[in-house]
Amino acid sequence: MMERLSQTLEKNEALRSKIRSALMYPAAVMLMSLGILALILIWVVPVFEEVFQSLGAELPWSTQLVMRLSEALVLAWPAALFMLALLIWGAQHPGPQATQIRLGVSRWLLDWPVLGPLITTAVVARWSQTLSALLSAGVPLTEALGPTAQACDHPVFFGVTLQLQRRVIQGSSLNEAMQQTGRFPTMIVQLCATGEDTGALDSLLDRAGGLMSTELDDQVNGLTSLLEPVIIVVLGGFIGAILVAMYLPIFGLGQIF
């Protein structure tokens, strides 16, 4: 059983490592690009604005839009820094208010179109492997759901698993309780229903965890190959559009003179 536990822990850590390593480069590119974009809007665009005001030239709508965006960012960056500090504090502080912040952020991320399914797949795979290991050790289902909730390492699924535990204690089947939450993929719910009917819940959960780990690998690899060019093209396009918008009035003045 200790060997099975060590294998489960290794699988859980491998899932985290895969996600971290796959998203490290896209996250770094996005942060650097957003930083450059913010520097252009905060420090470069106001210089152009002073030049345009001194010339008294009529500005195109694109240039006016960029200047308004720059003014809004200059006024809003202290509030943005405060929100960032609040999020960092919420991620580190153990108090109840910070717990609510982490819960809200986790729910918000689960609703994202691409990132939400990726997080769900990773957490449910870890959930399945942990519950399978506990059931294989002879731990009753009602008692195994408590440690499984803690092993999820996710605020939303922690609360969901505790809800499952209460409903199972009240007499509900695991698959019915999982279906009512709306947080588990259909495949996992169906495998749990089959496992409860056949008495092979532990082996089917282990199989489900392996299938979701494979699915996670495919999702991470596809997301990584897609994110890198998309981030470069989109953010590069934003920066290029800002520069073109700021130089359009200068081009217009050159044509006049």
- Condensed to tens digits (0 to 9), the pLDDT of residues 85-142 reads 766 666 666 666 667 767 787 888 888 887 788 888 888 988 998 898 888 888 899 9
pTM for this prediction:
0.71
Residue carrying the six token digits 């390593």:
21
| Dmax (CA) of the chain | 87
- Range 112-127 burial, b when 16+ CB lie within 10 A, else e: eeeeeebbbbbbbbbb
Q: Which domains does the chain have, with CATH numbers?
A: 2-256 (1.20.81.30)
Nearest to 56 by CA among 254, 251, 249, 255: 249
Rounded percentage of the chain residues whose pLDDT exceeds 90: 10
Whether the predicted pLDDT of 171 surpasses 80:
yes
